[in-house]
């Protein structure tokens, strides 16, 4: 593979939702293309299809392939990087998905910690090393113990960082101490995986984010990251404090991506449909989202929130 510098993944990346038809029966590929165009217009560095926010466990193999292919085809001409979700809790399958993402033209892959089976640190090390040995594009580790049931230790991350194909880590474990330790012990590009913690993570050495909030307000996310990366933490903090209530709400009012898809529906940018076992946002959640969007100053194309979306009657199943 071409020598890849970790700094190339610095910046703001949006963890894309997967838009579905109003009945949830198929992926709405034109809506996905529109989402990526919206991200590019906001100055986003990259997009991440088929991650947690993309409801990947509910996608068929064919749908997952189409989502990645469509994302690459749309993003590449815009100069937007694609970090394709390609993880699995089976090492052999993760390798297959890694190679598939490469064939589709992704710039890097996102490899989640194996979920459910709770491997040891040595098992995690072997899993990611096997993927990296097979890879020809950069690998981004994804540490999210709240979903996986197990997390990477700093020591394991440092060992993995020695592999030339492992260039970054998405940190979604809630630990600022972890970020500081990793930044001090290896040269992986650290990407925040938790919007409310992005600013303090940058202060400790993170150089970017894989953001849920970016689905709603990519310009703010991009500007905050840019400010922090040039050392202007005062400017970054102004943005952080303004968007923090919305960023927190998107991750706490219901399980991801229920709130963000509801918010996008209210803004006229998504059907708002999620697939089972997720359920659509309740009326109370939508009401709170409307308040948060208004507070942050985010409005739909007509300049106001969709009243049907606010009432909770749109985008539910």
What does R_g of the chain's alpha carbons equal in angstroms? 18
Q: Is 266 in a helix, a strand, or coil?
A: helix
Burial category of 273 from C-beta neighbours within 10 Å (exposed 0-12, middle 13-18, buried 19 and up): buried
Separation between Cα atoms, residue 268 and residue 104, nearest integer Å: 30
Strands (DSSP E) contained in 70-138 are 81-85, 108-112
Active site residues: 142, 170
Q: Is 109 in a helix, a strand, or coil?
A: strand
Q: Is 20 in a helix, a strand, or coil?
A: strand
Note whether 290 and 266 are within 8 A (CB).
yes
Question: Hey, what's the torsion of the CAs at 265, 266, 267, 273, to 10 degrees?
Answer: 0
Separation between Cα atoms, residue 267 and residue 246, nearest integer Å: 14
């Amino acid at each position: 593979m071409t020598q890849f510098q970790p700094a190339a993944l610095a910046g703001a990346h949006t963890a894309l939702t997967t838009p579905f038809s109003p009945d949830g029966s198929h992926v709405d590929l034109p809506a996905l293309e529109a989402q990526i165009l919206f991200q590019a217009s906001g100055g986003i560095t990259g997009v991440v299809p088929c991650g947690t926010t993309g409801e990947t466990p509910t996608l068929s193999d064919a749908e997952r392939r189409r989502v990645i292919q469509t994302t690459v085809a749309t993003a590449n001409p815009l100069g937007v990087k694609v970090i394709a979700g390609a993880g699995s809790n089976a090492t052999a399958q993760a390798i297959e998905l890694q190679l598939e993402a490469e064939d589709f033209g992704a710039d890097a892959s996102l490899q989640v910690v194996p979920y459910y089976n709770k491997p040891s640190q040595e098992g995690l090390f072997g899993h990611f090393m096997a993927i990296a040995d097979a890879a020809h594009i950069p690998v981004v580790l994804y540490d999210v113990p709240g979903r996986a049931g197990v997390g990477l230790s700093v020591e394991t991350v440092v060992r993995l960082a020695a592999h030339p194909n492992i260039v970054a880590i998405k940190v979604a474990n809630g630990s600022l101490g972890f970020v500081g330790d990793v930044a001090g012990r290896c040269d992986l590009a650290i990407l925040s995986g938790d919007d409310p913690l992005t600013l303090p993570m940058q202060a400790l050495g993170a150089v970017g984010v894989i953001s849920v909030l970016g689905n709603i307000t990519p310009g703010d996310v991009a500007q905050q990251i840019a400010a922090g990366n040039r050392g202007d933490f005062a400017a970054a903090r102004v943005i952080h404090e303004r968007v923090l209530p919305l960023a927190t709400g998107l991750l706490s009012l219901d399980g991801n991506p229920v709130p963000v898809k509801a918010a996008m529906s209210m803004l006229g940018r998504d059907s708002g449909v999620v697939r089972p076992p997720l359920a659509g946002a309740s009326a109370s959640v939508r009401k709170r989202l409307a308040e948060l969007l208004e507070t942050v100053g985010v409005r739909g194309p007509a300049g106001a929130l969709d009243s049907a979306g606010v009432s909770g009657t749109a985008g539910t199943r």
